[in-house]
Each structure stands twice: as structure tokens, then as C-alpha cells.
Amino acid sequence: MAPTFCSFLEPLPRTNRPSSPALARARARPRLIRLEAEDEMTIDRRAVLALAAGLAAAACTKKEEEPADAAGKARPTVIRFVTDWRAEAEHGGFYQALATGEYARRGLDVRIIQGGPGVNVPQLMAAGAADMGIGSNSFIVMNLAAEKVPVRAVAAAFQKDPQVLIAHPNAGIEKIADMKGHPILLADASITAFWVWLKAKYGFTDAQVRKYTFNNATFLADQRSVMQGYVTSEPYTLETEAHIKPKVFLLADEGYPGYAAMVLARLSLIEERPEIVQAFVDASAAGWVSYLNGDPKPGDALIRKDNPEMRQDVLDQARVKMRTYGIVESGDAVMGRVGVMSDARWKAFYNIAQSQGVYPKSLDYQAAFDLQFAPRAPR
């Protein structure tokens, strides 16, 4: 049977804090997967539908209360914003915008809903159970366009996808090209995501792939092995637990064109209330600037309130990594353009994926995004 794409997105696990229990539990981040048949889907649909029903019911009750207060003043517009995982530094700008009143000043009452295992952001949005959400990577967003789901990316908080490849310090690997022939530990979901780009650019082959089970033991046992990870997570875990200083290669710095942590909006909201979408994008951008360059304590306090297991040292190092690597503020996003997206970047991403057979030539890649809300990319 020819592989087909499905709108259900399987979580791709990775650790979110540097502790052995966390490694055992494994964190997850939604990634695109290619499915051979419906019975291969691992998402707990019942959990998703139950959450959707609960959110929708709450939303219906709330909307009846929103028109005006006793003085006739318009109430803030409620926006249900669902994240792609439990509260963490990678959501810091959104929490900061909430904590510092950036959303409230623009007439928004933003309710951040934590993601987690079994929580499918696009699915909840398509069902009307959430108004906006986070799209983890460009494959997820382009897949929505391929399936004609009425959701669009309206801003990209991360100009650089934090995806990295990690090598041992004494393995003779000085650049990604040196990994050719080495075993590379990859999650199943990564095979149809960034691995597509790696094969196209570096001539890697599927014979190099080894299954990544989100346990560092396999990597540590083989000095020739390479492991996938997030720049804000696995390197810190290896340094603090295994006491090694790994070599880290950020794919974005080698030309990987995908965005990450994109703000998604329902098409109906874009068409009917564009001013609300604009207010959210503007407030979120201000939140990210404040979180990375100002006092992050307000945002961190809300993150740790929502996710009590999150440690402050993990938040601190992740924020430093985001600044150091220019995850948010680099490229087109410098000079106050946080959240910027461009047609050129999206086209480059689509062309690579399409050339490897991930998407058909007939796909309208521009149906994945709407550029009217984020700052304009410089010409």
C-alpha cells in the first residue's frame, strides 16, 4: 500500500528536564508521521475528543457572558490558545505576554491550555475546541494544507527550528557532512521530517538509521553514533547527567529552512475577526522580546504554576540557548520583526519536501500560511 498522510499527528518524544525519571517518562512534541493504514495511529482519540468536548462546552458557556459588563464596556475577547506540550521555556514568550498584560492591553482574555501526550493541536482547532495554537514545525503546518484543514500559520515565534544532531566529542565529527556512514538515532516520526532534508543535502542513506527510544544509553554506548535532539534540551541533559560535552549541530544553521513554534489560527477567526488575530500576534511578539531580553520572572512563574515539575535551571539554560542560537531573533526577525514569515522560506521548505516525494507537485503550499499579520520580511 502506498503511504498516505493523515491529519493525526503522533507525538515525537524527547525529554524536557535533565533527570533520569524525566528520561524514562519521555517528553513528546508533535511531529508529522506517514501512516500505512488507519490502525497504525497511536493517538488516543478518545482523550482528544473528550478534551475537545470539554473545551467546546466551556467556550459555549463563556461566549454567552462576553458582550459587555455592567457598565456597558465591551468585555475582553476570550482566546483559547493550546500549546504543543506542557509549559516550558519554549512557550516563554506566550506566558510572558499573559503575565505582563500584553494580551489584556489589546483586549484579549487569553486562556493558555497545556498540550501533552494525546493532545492534538490542529485537531482541537479544527473541531472548534481551541481558537489558536502552536504548530511545532513546518511539516505539521504543510500537512494541514495538504489535507485542506481550515487552519493557517499566522506567525513563526521560532525563526530557527531547534532540531539538532548530537555527536560524541571525540568521534572525528566536525560538521554534519562527517556523519555520513555513522549510525544516526532517529525517532520514527523524524524519518518523514528533517531526515528528508538531510538525505537530500548530505547524501545520507536509510541504512544509517537506528531507532531512537528516547534513552541516552544507546548513544552513550556507541562513540560513533549520532543522536537527534532539541538544542534546548538533550545537550543540557548529557552535560549534567552523563558529564560529557557533546558536539551539537543546529540544522537551521546548516540551511534547514523550516520554521517552528508557529502561531496557528482557525480560518474562520482569520476571516471574521482579523483584528483579534493581529492583536494576538503583536502581543505574543512583545512577550517574546520581553522574555528573552527583559525580566523573565513573570513568564517563568506562570510556566511553573502550570507545570510544577519544570525546574528553574532548565528554564534558565533553555532561555540562554534560545538567545545564543538566535532561535527567535535572527534572520528576518531582527530589528523588531519577531514572528516574521516569508513566502520565500515556505517555498524553499515545500520544494525540498516535494522533491523527496513528501508532497505532490499539485499542492498549493501557500494554503499553509497567511502573511498579513506577522511583520514583513525585508526585501
Count, in order, helices (H) and strands (E) of the chain.
Answer: 14, 14
Determine the CATH number of domain 52-156+262-368. Answer: 3.40.190.10
Task: State the pairing for strand pair 27-30/11-14.
Answer: antiparallel
Q: What is the pLDDT of residue 66?
A: 55
The single residue listed with the C-alpha cell 532548565 is: 314
- The whole-number pLDDT of residue 273 equals 98
Q: Where are the domains of the chain?
A: 52-156+262-368
pLDDT in tens, 331-354: 999 888 999 999 999 999 999 999
Mean pLDDT of the region 177-199: 94
Q: Which is nearest to 212 in space by CA: 232, 197, 230?
A: 230
> Quick check: 10 pLDDT over 50?
no
Taking only the tens place, the pLDDT of each residue in 18-68 is 333 333 233 333 333 222 223 333 334 444 444 554 554 444 434 444 566
Buried b (16+ CB within 10 A) or exposed e, 327-362: bbbeebbeeebbbbbbeebbeebbebbbeeebbeee
C-alpha cell at position 46: 478518545
138-159 tens-digit pLDDT: 999 999 999 999 999 999 999 9
3-state helix, strand, coil in the chain (%, to 5): 45, 20, 40
Given pLDDT bands bounded at 50, 70 and 90, which one contains residue 213?
confident
What is the tens place of the pLDDT at every residue in 129-141? 999 999 999 999 9
Q: How confident is the model at residue 192 (pLDDT cuts 50, 70, 90)?
A: confident
CA distance 29 to 137: 10
